[in-house]
Amino acid sequence: DQQVKQNSPSLSVQEGRISILNCDYTNSMFDYFLWYKKYPAEGPTFLISISSIKDKNEDGRFTVFLNKSAKHLSLHIVPSQPGDSAVYFCAASGFYGGATNKLIFGTGTLLAVQP
Amino acid sequence: EPEVTQTPSHQVTQMGQEVILRCVPISNHLYFYWYRQILGQKVEFLVSFYNNEISEKSEIFDDQFSVERPDGSNFTLKIRSTKLEDSAMYFCASMEGIMNTEAFFGQGTRLTVV
């Protein structure tokens, strides 16, 4: 039951260019979406989030866009830096039916930023 | 900056043995979670804990698993009789509130069952 999907397992971009990571979801009850960054042998680190009442949230070089009608969100990193190289997980949550805001994760996209 | 800490970082155990994974969540957080990531797979929800009781658990969280918060600071995950397929990274997470807040994750415990 893949409620959150990241269809690109990997992405390679040049330093200074834009990185665009995509995520699709199927559960219309999700109302909060998050992006996490993960290095090997470390825990996920929160990056940026967006509530379903918004369509864009920006924090420095990171912008998340949400298209609710398409059940799609994307993370833009501009400009990309070599230190951004990591696995990026999209996650979704929703406080519905007694659920406890657990996160449903996508499978991740490995971003490699080439110097 | 407050952080979630987990111990040990790596645990090797024999099949059938009991293991306890420990976590210290961020002090003012109220909601606690365990997730796991089998190598090469996605991060999966195991259990959530609030007000000293389990509030939700996944189908993975069977009778072999238990959680408790014995002293108001530590949050533990116990696996009573480990199986080879329990080998994974186990992540503890905590959240301050329940609505539109992010979960903070620990560094994880790599559990290897041999």
Residue A98 confidence class, pLDDT cut points 50, 70, 90: low
The domain tally of chain A equals: 1
Query: In chain B, which among 52-111 make CB contacts under 8 A with chain A?
Result: 55-56, 89, 91, 93, 95, 98-108, 110
**Which domain CATH number covers A88?**
2.60.40.10
The range of the structural domain enclosing residue B17 comes to 5-96
pLDDT digits 0-9 by tens, B82-103: 999 999 999 999 998 877 788 9
Cβ–Cβ gap B41/A107 under 8 Å: yes
Q: Measured between CB atoms, which of A32, A49, A100 is closest to B31?
A: A100
The verdict on residue A114 lying in a domain is: no
Q: What is the number of structural domains in chain B? A: 1
> pLDDT for A50-69, tens place per residue?
999 999 999 999 999 999 99
Evaluate whether residue B107 is within a structural domain: no
**Domain that residue A44 falls in:** 4-109
CB contact under 8 A, A98 and B41: no
Q: Is the pLDDT of residue B76 over 70?
A: yes
The per-residue pLDDT for A1 is 61
- Strand, helix or coil at B86? helix
Closest-CA distance of chain A to residue B105, Å? 6
Average pLDDT over residues A85-111: 86
- Asked if the Cβ–Cβ distance from A102 to B43 is below 8 Å, we say no
Token pair for residue B83? 């199986």
Share of chain A above pLDDT 70, in %: 94
pLDDT score of B98: 74
CB-CB contact of B47 with B34 (8 Å): yes
